[in-house]
């Protein structure tokens, strides 16, 4: 296999790795906004919390325990935040929830800085996932490959939950027409809490998986949040597969850009977003949501 092709495949996979991290966060953002109308600017903060919980638990009990504890702990925090804060703003002016979550994001970042310091904390790849996978002339990190597999399993599991269960049917109906769901005697309150837990828990999952690669520091959430919003915009509000496709597309475009024009790698997703918005203002697979019309 030519070395140029090997390098290109490696960059495409690295791009996909970045893309799946974005889409895990973007899926949570899209879910919470679609059902509750909350633009959660604090979502990146929960990503950072997941990474810090992973570090603390991992140093004491090992990576497998951290991998389980981080998303579950962040999901529980999300449930508390939803019941105490988000629930007060579902029917309020959207600008109020925007200000709320912006303030919450700053509180989270400063609290992490006060508790752990501003210096990045290293977090090692677990021993059983160190090393490389060899496919002929192609060599790739075993840990990065594991992240891609876990992310794919998370996306598939969420899709099955939303499309193949009674819970998912209520959530999808609540996204389109919550008043009709209420008229049928179904309270959306527990579903809103569950959706917040799932969406914020996905951010925690991304945090623990990316921690050994990107390092752990208080501002890591704000760095990834903008990219996650770009993925939501490209994919289209309310579209599950739109967000997934956008995350993968952003990753592939980034990988190609790193290969051909390395200095433009960071800007590539913004150029892609501009191109999509000029041709499809709703995003690639944007759906009409009646209550937002």
* pLDDT tier at 287, thresholds 50, 70, 90: low
- CATH no. of 3-292: 1.10.3470
Query: Is residue 288 pLDDT above 60, yes or no?
Result: no
Q: Rounded to whole angstroms, what are the CA distances from 54 to 17, 93, 115, 181? A: 19, 36, 15, 38
What is the tens place of the pLDDT at every residue in 17-52?
Answer: 999 999 999 999 999 988 888 889 999 999 999 999
Give the model confidence (pLDDT) of 106-156 as tens digits: 999 999 999 999 899 989 899 899 999 887 778 889 999 999 999 999 999
C-alpha triplet 86, 92, 97: angle, nearest 5°: 45
Domain ranges for the chain, please list them.
3-292
What is the model's pLDDT at position 292? 47
- Give the CA distances from residue 183 to residues 39, 128, 189, 290, in Å, rounded to whole numbers and listed in that order: 26, 53, 14, 16
């Amino acid at each position: 296999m030519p070395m140029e092709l090997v390098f290109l495949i490696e960059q495409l996979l690295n791009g996909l790795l970045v893309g799946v991290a974005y889409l895990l966060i973007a899926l949570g953002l899209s879910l919470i906004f679609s059902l509750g109308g909350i633009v959660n600017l604090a979502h990146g903060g929960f990503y950072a919390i997941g990474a810090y919980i992973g570090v603390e638990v991992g140093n004491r009990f090992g990576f497998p325990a951290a991998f389980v504890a981080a998303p579950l702990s962040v999901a529980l925090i999300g449930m508390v935040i939803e019941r105490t804060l988000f629930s007060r703003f579902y029917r309020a002016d959207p600008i109020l929830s925007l200000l709320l979550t912006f303030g919450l994001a700053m509180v989270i970042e400063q609290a992490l800085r006060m508790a752990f310091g501003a210096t990045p904390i290293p977090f090692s790849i677990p021993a059983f996932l160190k090393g490389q996978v060899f496919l002929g002339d192609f060599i790739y990190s075993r840990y990065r490959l594991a992240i891609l597999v876990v992310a794919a399993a998370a996306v598939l599991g969420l899709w099955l939950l939303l499309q193949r269960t009674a819970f998912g049917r209520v959530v999808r109906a609540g996204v389109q027409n919550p008043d009709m769901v209420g008229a049928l005697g179904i309270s959306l309150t527990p579903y809103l809490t569950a959706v917040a837990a799932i969406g914020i828990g996905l951010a925690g999952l991304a945090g623990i998986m990316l921690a050994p690669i990107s390092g752990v520091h208080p501002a890591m959430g704000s760095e990834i949040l903008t990219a996650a919003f770009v993925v939501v915009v490209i994919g289209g509000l309310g579209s599950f597969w739109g967000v997934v496709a956008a995350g993968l597309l952003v990753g592939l475009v980034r990988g190609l850009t790193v290969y051909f024009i390395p200095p433009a790698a960071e800007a590539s997703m913004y150029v892609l977003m501009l191109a999509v918005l000029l041709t499809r203002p709703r995003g690639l697979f944007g759906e009409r949501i009646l209550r937002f019309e």
